[in-house]
Amino acid sequence: MYDHDNRPVLLKNRLPKEQREAIMQRRAKEFQQHKASRTSSVLSKLLYALPNSPLQYPIQGYTVRPLTPTLIPVLGLHAGERDSYKVFLNVSKGILRTETPDKQVTVKGAGTRELSIESSSLVFLKELLAKVSYTSSIYHINSGDLAFFRFENHEAVFPIAIKQPQVPVLYDMGTDIRSQVTILTKTFLRYPQLKVLLASIQQFYPNITVIIADDSFEPERIFGENIQQYIMPPAQGWFAGRNLAVSQVVTKYFLWVDDDFIFTQNTKIEEFVKVMEAVPELDVVGGSVAGNQFYFSILYEEGDEVEGGCLRRKPRGKFHPLPGFRKCYFTHGVVNFFLARTDAVRRVGFDPQLQRVAHSEFFVDGLGSLMVATCKDVKIGHQRKTKENRNPQYSKFRRPKKRDNNFKTNLHYFKNHLKCFRYS
């Protein structure tokens, strides 16, 4: 959203004046809850090691299950000869235990948050340190704690990750493209274009499943052995249709296409799959539509807690090439022709409040959670506009009205906690 001189717009100025203060208060409350429950963690605290410490402890990778006793690995002390050795451990979200000591070692605080071990023998003290366990006292599936470990004037702090292990959800890739990819599209009042698209898919991928989300006013049944047409309430919109289509996918990947695209001999879905399988951290890979390899980067400054951040979409913004694929580059957003990991897209979702013109908003919502790339050697065609396939009613819905643009700015202001938004 920008003014005529290309300056970013302050989104709060687009809010209805009579509701502005109430909306700002609700946004502030929601942002604080978001920070507290979803983004803040004790494990994000900056930790640093002091020089020449005699303390030995884990600095990364110590993970425990909720409410489950787990030994603290490599816990130890390396100190010169002394008459007595005494170490202290304390945590805040769990309890500490070790084995029952013999007469030469004194243990205090076992089963509490603060544990001390003292002995005249460094060997015996080390033996008990190796048997210290941590048990979280509060159930949480993804949390953390900090352990403070002290000896004389030396102190160390190390993180404890508390995580419930996740059950794998795997997709059987089978032996052919049909078991790997589902083609999705959303249609609205454009059956001539849709039928051309389906015919082109049938030509190159006759056995692949195609899912159609259809919110036309008078739906026309589309028949085909591998076609699934889902009829929606009329004019529910672009992102609602995307959500519906994605919800029905049973393959590891789906290919998104617009209903006025057309498959050609260069529409090689297998090439997309090859990239995704070779780079497993990748979530979305886009191609080229009628020679247009549209992609963009998103520059996001978080700003302060009151005003919010600023976001700028930069066309043709890309990063370094994908390893092993010199024609593919990492980026933030791609054109409306892409292959995506089904589970990754479901986690982000498409905001059904965006009914008409919407695309970049999905990648804005997915910034920081979706790895995206663009590849220029996988292509799809775009159907020409003709008298036969033009629909005046469709054009009326396609072009956003002022109220639609105002709604979008208000949505960015509240949902994305943005102060300003700019398309370069």
Q: For 106-130, what is each residue's pLDDT tens digit?
A: 999 999 999 999 999 999 999 999 9
pLDDT above 90 (res 42): no
Q: Are residues 253 and 386 in the same domain?
A: yes
For residue 60, is it within any domain?
yes
Q: Are residues 111 and 253 in the same domain?
A: no
> SS3 for 37?
helix
Q: What is the CATH number of the domain that holds 240?
A: 3.90.550.10
415 band by pLDDT with thresholds 50, 70 and 90: very high
pLDDT in tens, 291-340: 999 999 999 999 999 999 999 999 999 999 999 999 999 999 999 999 99
Q: What is the CATH number of the domain that holds 57?
A: 2.60.40
Q: Are residues 197 and 331 in the same domain?
A: yes
For residue 367, is it within any domain?
yes
Domain region containing 280 = 177-423
Q: What pLDDT is attached to residue 244?
A: 97
Q: Are residues 375 and 412 in the same domain?
A: yes
CA distance linking residue 216 with residue 188, whole number of Å: 5
CA distance linking residue 422 with residue 424, whole number of Å: 6
402 band by pLDDT with thresholds 50, 70 and 90: confident
Q: Give the DSSP letter string of 193-230.
A: HHHHHHHHHHHH-TTS-EEEEE--SS------TTEEEE
Q: Are residues 319 and 211 in the same domain?
A: yes
Q: Are residues 107 and 229 in the same domain?
A: no
Picking from 129, 163, 197, the residue at the C-terminal end of a domain is 163
Q: Are residues 137 and 181 in the same domain?
A: no
Q: What pLDDT is attached to residue 102?
A: 77
For residue 28, is it within any domain?
no
HSE-up of 61 (CA within 13 Å, CB side)?
A: 4
Q: What pLDDT is attached to residue 3?
A: 47
Number of structural domains found in the chain:
2
pTM over the 0.95 mark: no
Number of H helices, E strands in the chain: 9, 26
Q: Are residues 218 and 344 in the same domain?
A: yes
Q: Are residues 150 and 233 in the same domain?
A: no
